């Protein structure tokens, strides 16, 4: 939605100008930093974020909408160094869930559901492969993987 100067609401063009979708981590250190680094401005790209930029069914769902409805032609998976999803302690989370009255057994495999990662680079490469090989994703889409260094801002292309 775009607010007109006259205060009205313009539902106008919601298609991303750069025909780009970015899948990245929810890490607070990436807010603004990543878009600046990629030269992506408001209206340029669809940005899909979750903990650890893991390609879940819901990410695929958003990409399907971005590709088939919004003209996205390129997908960038951008991971980052020092990702918190590498160091999460599933047992500790389970303990905290129980302490606060949540049921950690709501899913058959909490560890898998939480999506702990072993390596930031491998996680990005695996994500790119999942998107490229997914039956819902057309073959004419460009999918690339990157890793951003949260300290130096260096953006490295992985695949």
Binding site for Zn ion (CB under 5 A): 25, 27, 83
User: Which residue, 27 or 77, has its beta carbon nearer to Zn ion?
Assistant: 27
Distance CA 36, CA 116 (A): 28
Minimum distance, C-beta of residue 21 to Zn ion, in the bound complex (Å): 18
- In total, the chain counts a number of residues equal to 159
Neighbours of 156 (CB within 10 A): 13
User: Which residue, 21 or 120, has its beta carbon nearer to Zn ion?
Assistant: 120
User: Which residue, 18 or 62, has its beta carbon nearer to Zn ion?
Assistant: 62
Q: Are strands 155-157 and 142-148 parallel, antiparallel or unpaired?
A: antiparallel
Write the Ramachandran bin of 118: left for phi over 0, alpha for psi from -120 to 50, otherwise beta. Answer: alpha
User: Which residue, 83 or 143, has its beta carbon nearer to Zn ion?
Assistant: 83
Residue positions forming the annotated binding site for Zn(2+): 25, 80, 83
Neighbours of 97 (CB within 10 A): 15
User: Residues near 90 by Cβ (< 8 Å), separated by ≥ 6?
Assistant: 110, 111, 114, 116
CB–CB of 142/110 below 8 Å? no
């Amino acid at each position: 939605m775009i607010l007109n100067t006259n205060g009205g609401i313009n539902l106008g063009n919601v298609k991303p100008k750069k025909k780009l979708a970015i899948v990245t981590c929810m890490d607070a250190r990436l807010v603004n930093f990543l878009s600046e680094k990629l030269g992506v401005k408001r209206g340029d790209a669809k940005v899909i974020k979750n903990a650890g930029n893991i390609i879940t069914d819901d990410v695929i769902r958003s990409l399907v909408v971005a590709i088939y409805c919004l003209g996205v032609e390129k997908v960038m998976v951008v991971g980052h160094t020092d990702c918190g999803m590498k160091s999460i302690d599933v047992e500790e989370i389970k303990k905290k869930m129980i302490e606060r009255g949540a049921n950690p057994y709501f899913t058959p495999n909490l560890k898998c559901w939480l999506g702990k990662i072993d390596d930031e680079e491998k996680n990005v490469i695996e994500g790119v492969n999942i998107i490229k090989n997914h039956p819902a994703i057309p073959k004419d889409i460009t999918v690339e993987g990157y890793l951003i260094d949260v300290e130096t801002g260096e953006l490295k292309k992985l695949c």
